[in-house]
Chain A
Amino acid sequence: MSTPFGDPDASDLVCARCDRPLEMLKVEASYLGQTFPVELPACPTCGFVYVSEEIAAGRMLKVEQALEDK
């Protein structure tokens, strides 16, 4: 089961190379040897995954810190 990493507003973003709007895709996040599925906006063609600052400094940072303190 994958978890959406928040609800980023990426509706205006297109992949410059593939010229396609980003879609919420199941991607794999990993840190310190732990891997888990998440949903993030990504290019459906080339797989470029977008991480917004809100997510990077929010939920993602919390998970990073929790894993570092394990």
Chain B
Amino acid sequence: MDGDKIKAWEALCIEEQPPACAAACPLRVDARAMAEKMAAGDFVAAMAVYARAVPFPAILAHICEHPCEAVCRRAEAGGAVRIGALERALVEEAYPSIRRAAQRARKPKTIAVVGAGLAGLTAAFDLVMKGHAVTVFEADAQPLDRLHRDYLPAVLPPSAIAADVGALMKLGVDIRCRQRIDPPSLDALIAGHDAVLMAVGPGPAAAFSGTLLLNAAGRIDVDRQTRATSHPKVFAGGLHDGTEEAWSAIGSAADGRRAAGSIDRFLQGASLTASRGDERAGTCLYVNVESHTAVPPVEAADPAAGYGHAEATAEAARCFPCHCLECVRACPYLAHYNTYPKRAVREIYNNDSIVMGNRKSNRMIDSCTLCGLCTELCPNDLAMGEVCLEARQSMVERGHMPASHHDFALRDMAFSRSDEVAFARHQPGHERSAVLFFPGCQLAASAPGQVAAVYRHLTERIGGGVGFMLDCCAAPAHWSGRTALHGEAVHRIRTVWEEFGRPRLVTACSTCLKLFGEFLPDVPTSSLWTELERIGLPDGAKRPAPKGPLAIHDPCTARHAVDVQAAVRSIATSLGAEVRELGGAEKTTCCGYGGLVSFAHPEVGNAFADRRITESDDDYLAYCAMCRDNFARRGKRALHLMDLIFPDADDPAARPDPGFSGRRDNRLRLRRRLLRELWGESMSDPVPPVTLVIADAVRADIERKLLLVDDIAEVIAEAERTGRKLKDRTTGRLTASGRIGTVTTWVEYEAGAAGFVVHRIYGHRMQVEAKP
């Protein structure tokens, strides 16, 4: 796979963008994670999140200006989460749980910080945590003197300041008060330390003009990004560039952090500018605010005391939390793998890049239905199906595609394309075709009688000859990444189309329609449903009106076929159906068959079907045979549009899924019936090698294990002919096996009056032989 393309795909997924609160916080406090933990009642874990970003939790919880609340997306649904109040409640309850230990630096450096304000002490905190020796020099009698002066004790209790400063000193920071640094002592600090931070206000700056370059405003000339001054060992606080906004507590702390980051880089001899990541970057995380109902903020029972535990937990639970995950919420595939596209794309690429070792993501790649719903929901139109399809093509190309994932589907496709099933004829009595009817392999497999009936109708209403072509559009080859096989099949369809005089193709299958549009763009193709809307339905037929309303399910391959969607609704309504929508055609979901997921990962396939069928209690109306049969298989009453037009059962919504063996029989039968009845060809019905008696439960097991009744009959016939079988002395049952294609099929059976009774079947791919 192409690495640049992978990067472009990854970049489209914005799930890893920070939430608005974290993006707006100068210290990047992950308020989303903090609130999630508080909502779960785990204040200790929430405290750990808060204290990871905030050097002085007790102080800042009281005086932070919380710019996070101004951008909180909850504001659009009831009011911003009161993050500041949450932080205070957190500190109130869990401050003693904070555990901090400084790293042990391999080569500790000495750093002098001039000024024990919030910026200077934050820098001191960050640098001592990195393992350096930090001494702070403060002219006033106590550190953080400004905070004592500017805040009332009711707002910022002196005990909070004492707690944070005490913790800082416990980490090893040496704070020396009443130590005014004048120009000569600055020179001494520079000489005696590896780096110096001038975290002083603008007032005293001018005095240091002998050592440090001043700017036009008479302040220390400091680089905005790095806080570097004209002296390589000296860094300075951001107040000196004169362009910073008004003083703020959180801004000062961030200022100190920025300077400390530069000092650490300087001490390591690293670039001061390369990939700092502390620039304000904003966020483009998409949040579907409309999906949340408005909830007002929790009001503290005692506003002066702030939130109690229960109040804080309730308020934290108002955090959505902000995530995109629009596709994940709608997709059982991504949900099954507990992932989102950015991570999935990377995983797929890593899997593709493995030269030696286990490719653990093969099944994950083969579990996408390629249905395209993620693209509809993604703010950036990222298509996971494209990623997975390319990965599958790459797997096939390199010989890494696990054979078992798609073997059965490809075998079924080969059968549909074989001489046993596939054929094409001009309309009887015609030597050319204006239209070529291509019902598709699955409608033929599900409802052969209706295919015959609609073909008859088409020939009656459309002039110039309506040819018939029973074949497969080769979707299984395409979906499984078999590019060459798919190309060969498409070529064959093109050849027939050309031999038939380039007629207009009319197909009953949305997948055929979509793939022909993509791979045979010059072949004029239309849907049977738009065609029927144009030519009208058969007259005179007595059709019972459907019982109750029908919820319409559009196949994922018709997601964008607006004309087809409209035609289907119009036909159904004209036949007396009350059609109800299931969230609309554009956002339709996969039935669980798309992309061959039901073969590669049945559990995920069933999850798609099961989610869809629980959306409405109404009977479903489908116009893809595979969707209808899949819903029926999972126990949902479902009709095909054909059941409304050509009703051939009292309760068509109760029609069971024919199953894979039944689908094969239906295709064979359709071919024989049409060739015999319409083209007068002599067709002999095949004689099964043995008669089988199969209970429903065993038949369902055969389906689940992707085995075929025909193959079972072959195995028993061969065992009976050769005597190559085992006998159970206790039960008298017989066991035989046979290799068919790449699978060894085992059958446990016994002879009964009505035929061979099949008790158990299973298969494996590995071959076993006794050594000679």
Q: Which residues of A contact B (CB under 8 A)?
A: 12-17, 22, 25-32, 37-38, 40, 42, 46-51, 53, 56-57, 60-61, 63-66, 68-70
Task: Pull 23 A–B residue pairs with CB atoms less than 8 Å apart, ordered by A.
Answer: A13-B735, A14-B729, A15-B726, A16-B723, A16-B725, A26-B771, A29-B766, A29-B768, A31-B767, A32-B403, A47-B769, A48-B726, A49-B768, A49-B769, A49-B770, A50-B726, A56-B762, A56-B763, A60-B764, A64-B404, A64-B766, A68-B362, A68-B403
Minimum C-beta distance from A29 to chain B (A): 5
Please indicate the chain B residues that have their CB under 8 angstroms from the CB of A16 in the complex: 723-727, 734
Please indicate the chain A residues that have their CB under 8 angstroms from the CB of B404 in the complex: 64-65, 68
Do A22 and B726 touch across chains, with their CB atoms under 8 A apart?
yes
Question: CA–CA, A22 to B725, complex, Å?
Answer: 12
B419: Cβ under 8 A from any A Cβ: no
Given contacts A13-B726, A65-B404, A68-B402, contact A27 B771 (CB under 8 A): yes
Do A28 and B771 touch across chains, with their CB atoms under 8 A apart?
yes
Do B724 and A17 touch across chains, with their CB atoms under 8 A apart?
yes
Please indicate the chain B residues that have their CB under 8 angstroms from the CB of A61 in the complex: 764
Question: CA–CA, A55 to B763, complex, Å?
Answer: 10
B243: Cβ under 8 A from any A Cβ: no
Given contacts A17-B722, A27-B769, A48-B770, 4 further A-B contacts (CB under 8 A): A27-B770, A49-B768, A53-B762, A68-B403
The residue in A15, A26, A40 that gathers the most chain B C-beta atoms within 10 A of its C-beta is A15
Do B770 and A69 touch across chains, with their CB atoms under 8 A apart?
no
- Residues 738-757 of chain B: 1 if any A CB is under 8 Å from the residue's CB, otherwise 0? 00000010100000000000
Please indicate the chain B residues that have their CB under 8 angstroms from the CB of A53 in the complex: 746, 760, 762
B737: Cβ under 8 A from any A Cβ: yes
Please indicate the chain B residues that have their CB under 8 angstroms from the CB of A68 in the complex: 362, 402-404
Do B362 and A51 touch across chains, with their CB atoms under 8 A apart?
no
Chain B residues within 8 Å of chain A by Cβ, number: 34
Majority DSSP secondary structure for residues of A touching B: mixed
Do A70 and B358 touch across chains, with their CB atoms under 8 A apart?
yes
Question: CA–CA, A15 to B404, complex, Å?
Answer: 30
Closest to B742 in A: A31
Question: CA–CA, A2 to B682, complex, Å?
Answer: 56
- Residues 709-727 of chain B: 1 if any A CB is under 8 Å from the residue's CB, otherwise 0? 0000000000000111111
The residue from A12, A17, A48 contacting B728, defined by CB atoms under 8 A apart: A12
Minimum C-beta distance from B134 to chain A (A): 53
The residue from B403, B734, B762, B768 contacting A28, defined by CB atoms under 8 A apart: B768
Please indicate the chain B residues that have their CB under 8 angstroms from the CB of A57 in the complex: 762, 764
- Residues 398-419 of chain B: 1 if any A CB is under 8 Å from the residue's CB, otherwise 0? 0000111000000000000000
- Residues 423-447 of chain B: 1 if any A CB is under 8 Å from the residue's CB, otherwise 0? 0000000000000000000000000
Given contacts A14-B726, A17-B724, A51-B746, contact A69 B359 (CB under 8 A): yes
Do B358 and A69 touch across chains, with their CB atoms under 8 A apart?
yes
B271: Cβ under 8 A from any A Cβ: no
B765: Cβ under 8 A from any A Cβ: yes
Given contacts A51-B746, A64-B404, A69-B358, contact A30 B726 (CB under 8 A): no
B360: Cβ under 8 A from any A Cβ: yes
Question: CA–CA, A14 to B731, complex, Å?
Answer: 12
B730: Cβ under 8 A from any A Cβ: yes
Minimum C-beta distance from B364 to chain A (A): 11
Please indicate the chain A residues that have their CB under 8 angstroms from the CB of B763 in the complex: 56
Please indicate the chain A residues that have their CB under 8 angstroms from the CB of B746 in the complex: 51, 53, 56
Question: CA–CA, A65 to B360, complex, Å?
Answer: 10
Minimum C-beta distance from A60 to chain B (A): 5
Do B771 and A14 touch across chains, with their CB atoms under 8 A apart?
no
Minimum C-beta distance from B705 to chain A (A): 9
Please indicate the chain B residues that have their CB under 8 angstroms from the CB of A49 in the complex: 768-770
Do A12 and B730 touch across chains, with their CB atoms under 8 A apart?
yes
Please indicate the chain B residues that have their CB under 8 angstroms from the CB of A60 in the complex: 764, 766
The residue in B360, B731, B764 that gathers the most chain A C-beta atoms within 10 A of its C-beta is B764
Please indicate the chain A residues that have their CB under 8 angstroms from the CB of B728 in the complex: 12-13
Question: CA–CA, A24 to B542, complex, Å?
Answer: 67
Please indicate the chain B residues that have their CB under 8 angstroms from the CB of A22 in the complex: 726
Within B671-706, which residues are at the interface with A (CB < 8 Å)?
Answer: none
Please indicate the chain A residues that have their CB under 8 angstroms from the CB of B731 in the complex: 12
